[in-house]
Amino acid sequence: MDATAIGELKIKYQEVIDLIAQKKVVEAALKLSEVTEKVNDLIDFATSDKELQELSPFQILSNHLQLKIDLLKLPLN
């Protein structure tokens, strides 16, 4: 895996974080879905343990951001 792919993932995740901060839940969910799919594809085609180790934090970040988005979807009482 090259640095370009990792850099692109970082940019996409930052876009998701920015959308969450702006409370644009639908857009954030769609963008997160796209970037999570990309990470899963990269994991599927990883050829070494090192690549899997590089991608693991992105999986964790995806899960964390999904939880944040789900919390934003809950109505406030």
For 6, counting Cβ atoms within 10 Å of its Cβ (0-12 exposed, 13-18 middle, 19+ buried), the class is middle
Contacts of 36 (CB under 8 A, 6+ apart): 62, 66
Which residue type, as a one-letter code, is found at position 39?
V
For residue 1, name the pLDDT band (cuts at 50, 70, 90): confident
Residue 47: the pLDDT is 94
pTM, 2 dp: 0.91
Per-residue DSSP letter, 15? H
**Can you give the pLDDT at residue 77?**
47
Cβ contact 65:16 at 8 Å: yes
Query: What pLDDT, on a 0 to 100 scale, did the predictor assign at position 76?
Result: 58
Tens digits of per-residue pLDDT, 24-73? Answer: 999 999 999 999 999 999 999 999 999 999 999 999 999 999 999 999 99
**Nearest to 29, CA basis, from 75, 37, 44:** 37
